[in-house]
A and B are shown apart, each in its own frame.
Chain A
Amino acid sequence: IVLTQSPGTLSLSPGERATLSCRASQGVSSTYLAWYQQKPGQAPRLLIYGASGRATGIPDRFTGSGSGADFTLTISRLEPEDFAVYYCQHYGSLWTFGQGTKVEIK
C-alpha cells in the first residue's frame, strides 16, 4: 500500500479551514488509518486513529473522515499552533506513512 498525501504544502491564514488529503494506492480498511502532527524538532503526535477517532486531548477542530482509498483530515479553524507537518499512516500487513503535508502560514 502506498499512501499519497496532497497537497504537499498548504498556505493558509489563522482562522481558515484546512483540508488535507490522503489517498491509498488501493482500497484499505478505514479501521486502520491514522493521522499525526509533527512540529520542527519534535516527535510526531497522534491526532486521529481509526480514520475518525480523536486521540486523547486532541481538540475537536481536528476531524478525520473517509473510507475506501480516500481519507481527509480537516482542521476547522487554524490556530497558530496548528502550523506543522501532517502525516497519514495505515496498518495493513505492515505499517506505512504518507509523505506528509506541510501547513504553513500564508
Chain B
Amino acid sequence: AQSVTQPDIHITVSEGASLELRCNYSYGATPYLFWYVQSPGQGLQLLLKYFSGDTLVQGIKGFEAEFKRSQSSFNLRKPSVHWSDAAEYFCAVEGSGYSTLTFGKGTMLLVSP
C-alpha cells in the first residue's frame, strides 16, 4: 500500500524568506502526487499536482514542486513566503486505481514578521 511521510510537523519561516516543505512517498509504480493547503477552519485547496512529464510542477500562489523518483520525494517550494501563506500543507499520493488519495500528516507553516 502507498504511504506518504511529511517529516516536519511545524516549520517557521520569516516573511520574504524561501520555503521548502518535504514529502516522501512509498509506491511501487509511478505515483500521482498532490500538494494541498488548508487555511485555519477551511477545507483543502489544491496547490499543484504531478502526473507525468516535466518533473518540476508549477502551481497556484507562486508554489512549485519537484518530483524526484530516485529519492521518492515531492518537495514543495516557494521563493518568497508571504504572511498569508501561513497554513497547514498536505502532501498526498494517488495509486489505488480508484482515485483515492493517501495523505501525509501535514506540515504547519508559521510565518514570522
Question: Do A and B associate with each other?
Answer: no
Q: Which A residues are within 8 Å of any B CB, using their own CB?
A: none
